[in-house]
Amino acid sequence: MGPLNGYTVIELAGIGPAPMGGMVLADMGAEVIRIDRASGGSPLMMKDVSARGKKSVVLNLKDPGGIETLLRMVENADVLIDPYRPGVCEKLGIGPEACLARNPKLVFARMTGWGQDGPLAHAAGHDINYISITGALFAMGRKDDKPVPPLNLVGDMGGGGMLLVNGVLAALLEAANSGKGQVVDAAMVDGAAQLMWMFHGLQAAGVWDAGQRGSNLLDGAAHFYDTYECADGEYISIGSIEPQFYALLKELAGLSEEDFGNQNAPAQWPRMKEQLTAVFKQKTQAQWCEIMEGTDVCFAPVLNFMDAPQHPANVARDTYIEVDGVTQPAPAPRFSRTPSKVAHGAHDAGQDTVDVLKAMGFGEEELTGLRQSGAIS
């Protein structure tokens, strides 16, 4: 059983960071009950990786019976995840005030892009927008070229889903001591800003230029911290920052002291990068792996995410698993005494409605009435 065994989480169905947060909590052993829509939505697909381990209950939240059913479920829950824009739950009658009145110990976790207040709180947006106003997007890309979106990893996932889980766990710990729940305002713009903490420090120390992308130690400017094409068109990554690691890079790549001796001379980085580009094109990715992988060069082959599960290090650690025929990341982090696991694959929408509600005290007659009124399905 995972470390969150015994906790119940109600997740209002959404997209991106909120489902990711619910997935992580389910992996850790929480009973996560996803509230799917009674109409307008398609059944959860097997390929929806974030639905793994979750139960599905279909409620009509536009029906008074559906609202009351959710509030009764809240009485039996520890956490509710709200993925909507600010004010939506309040309009439905399931906002923090209504839910905490039913369960004063509830953690009401709200996941948005811009946060619950501020001038942009009610505006639409996506990952690319949230990270734009934190400086994260500006910093990514090559010199004299436009910023490059880093997939939706920084805002949605790192600054969103992970931040949500962090907030939920902290609020659960506090509730265990105080007996009181609270609202967690997890905003992707806040999370993305937190992820930039180190660069604010580097800028303050005078060793980073925030106004110039592709000109700094960790943004691809340095010849010893970048990706390189190999003879077969595949790529490798080098991160030889420390002097001893850089010395090993020079040794294993056959780099002369005359050409590559002055590691920390930014004015020389373009020349050294051009020379190193030619060196790495002399061998295939596999050949460079044979020479450098597992050494202190700080080296790895650059793999696409379909090839990643076959890498020996990932195989050895079972970093990936297969659920319902879909290869996907295994639960993380790893616990020595209460290991996480994926209980099952995605359930169809409404597959667990009757069982979940019965377990929460709803009788057969009540369920029949709710079904007839269209509150559940």
Q: CATH number of the domain that 146 lies in?
A: 3.40.50.10540
Q: Residue 47: its pLDDT value, please? A: 83
The residue-averaged pLDDT of 118-125 equals 97
Do 179 and 288 belong together in one domain?
A: no
Q: Residue 44: its pLDDT value, please? A: 46
What does the pLDDT look like over 253-264, one tens digit per residue?
A: 999 999 999 999
Q: Per the domain annotation, does 218 fall within a domain?
A: no
The residue-averaged pLDDT of 202-214 equals 97
Question: At 314, phi and psi to the nearest 5?
Answer: -70, -35
Query: Which residues lie closer than 8 Å to 184 by C-beta, 6 or more apart?
Result: 107, 108, 109, 110, 164, 167, 168, 171
Q: Per the domain annotation, does 212 fall within a domain?
A: no
Q: Residue 41: its pLDDT value, please? A: 46
Q: Per the domain annotation, does 215 fall within a domain?
A: no
Do 93 and 233 belong together in one domain?
A: no
Residue whose pair of structure tokens reads 């790529």 in the numeric block: 235
The residue-averaged pLDDT of 348-376 equals 95
Strand order in the sheet with 55-59: 55-59, 31-37, 8-12, 79-82, 107-112, 182-187
Distance of alpha carbon 222 from alpha carbon 234, whole angstroms: 20
- Under DSSP, is residue 37 helix (H, G, I), strand (E, B) or coil? strand
The CA-atom distances, in angstroms, between 127 and each of 17, 174, 197, 323, 350 are 10, 30, 18, 27, 30
Do 251 and 188 belong together in one domain?
A: no
What does the pLDDT look like over 301-327, one tens digit per residue?
A: 999 999 999 999 999 999 999 999 999
> Of 276, 310, 344, which closes a domain?
310
Residue of 188, 195, 194 lying closest to 123 (CA atoms): 188
Q: Residue 303: its pLDDT value, please? A: 98
Average model confidence (pLDDT) for the chain? 96
Do 236 and 159 belong together in one domain?
A: no
What tokens appear for 306 in the block? 């379909």
The CA-atom distances, in angstroms, between 153 and each of 37, 192, 327 are 27, 10, 19
The residue-averaged pLDDT of 172-183 equals 98
Catalytic center residues: 126, 156
Q: Residue 198: its pLDDT value, please? A: 98
The answer to whether 302 and 235 have CB atoms below 8 angstroms apart is yes
Distance of alpha carbon 162 from alpha carbon 145, whole angstroms: 30
> Of 260, 281, 310, which closes a domain?
310
Per-residue pLDDT band at 171 (split at 50, 70, 90): very high
The residue-averaged pLDDT of 225-236 equals 98
Q: Residue 218: its pLDDT value, please? A: 97
Do 283 and 339 belong together in one domain?
A: no
Percent pLDDT > 90 in the chain is 97
Q: Per the domain annotation, does 235 fall within a domain?
A: yes
Do 303 and 183 belong together in one domain?
A: no
Its pTM stands at 0.95
The answer to whether 155 and 113 have CB atoms below 8 angstroms apart is yes
What does the pLDDT look like over 44-54, one tens digit per residue?
A: 444 899 999 99
| 42 has a pLDDT exceeding 80 | no
What's the domain range around 20? 8-195+321-373
Q: Per the domain annotation, does 211 fall within a domain?
A: no
Do 232 and 182 belong together in one domain?
A: no
First to last CA, the chain: 31
Q: Per the domain annotation, does 30 fall within a domain?
A: yes
How many domains does the chain contain in total? 2
Q: Residue 39: its pLDDT value, please? A: 57
Q: Residue 264: its pLDDT value, please? A: 94
Q: Per the domain annotation, does 177 fall within a domain?
A: yes
**For the chain, the helix, strand and coil percentages under 3-state DSSP, each to the nearest 5:** 40, 15, 45
| 138 has a pLDDT exceeding 50 | yes
Cα angle 8, 13, 15; round to 5: 120
